[in-house]
């Protein structure tokens, strides 16, 4: 198993997708009922394989990640070969970046000494999906990239 197993609630929510997964493995309802009754130890293997498949899909489709604390925002664009990161750091007493208003205030004050903006890029090691998965485990969230793109437009104009 490459990633963690989906929770019971997640598996329940994805029961239709799981049925399609089983069908792709040549297992119909009758066979699944037989496995549950006669070979219950195999059930976890199917859940693990399905979980990995779900995670692979999520990670492969991820284009942006965000990790925000009250005084720092790490905004990632996850390209094919490397991740770009924009880091917005502020004085802890300036505002709270976890709120929409705080992020807007920081953007409006990019020239202030209380706000710093950094840009970096990094090739993936060991792989793109593992890079994304590790950041998700640390608390990053998938995003649509709105904050990254807004900040990148400021970055291209002028950076301290």
Domain regions of the chain by residue span = 8-61, 64-157
Q: Which of 136, 13, 11 is nearest to 76 (CA)?
A: 136
Measured CA to CA in angstroms, residue 125 lies from 1, 12, 53 at distances of 19, 33, 21
pLDDT tens, the chain, 160 aa long: 899 999 999 999 999 999 999 999 999 999 999 999 999 999 999 999 999 999 999 999 999 999 999 999 999 999 999 999 999 999 999 999 999 999 999 999 988 999 999 999 999 988 999 999 999 999 999 999 999 999 988 766 554 4
Q: Which of 58, 79, 76 is nearest to 2 (CA)?
A: 58
pTM given for the model: 0.84
CA dist., res. 123 & res. 80, Å (int): 9
CA dist., res. 3 & res. 144, Å (int): 23
User: 21 with 14: CB under 8 angstroms?
Assistant: no
CA dist., res. 4 & res. 2, Å (int): 7
Largest CA distance in the chain: 68
- Structure tokens belonging to residue 39: 């070979």
């Amino acid at each position: 198993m490459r990633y963690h197993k989906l929770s019971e609630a997640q598996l329940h929510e994805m029961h239709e997708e799981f049925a399609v997964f089983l069908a792709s493995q040549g297992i119909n309802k009758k066979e699944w009922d037989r496995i549950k009754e006669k070979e219950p130890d195999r059930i976890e293997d199917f859940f693990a394989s399905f979980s990995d498949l779900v995670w692979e899909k999520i990670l492969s489709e991820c284009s942006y990640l965000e990790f925000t604390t009250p005084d720092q925002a790490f905004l990632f664009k996850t390209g094919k070969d490397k991740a770009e990161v924009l880091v917005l750091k502020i004085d802890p007493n300036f505002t709270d970046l976890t709120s929409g208003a705080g992020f807007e205030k920081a953007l409006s004050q990019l020239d202030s000494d209380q706000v710093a903006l950094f840009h970096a890029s990094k090739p993936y090691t060991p792989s793109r999906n593992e890079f994304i998965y590790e950041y998700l485990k640390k608390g990053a969230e998938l995003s649509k990239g709105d904050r990254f793109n807004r900040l990148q437009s400021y970055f291209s104009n002028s950076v301290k």
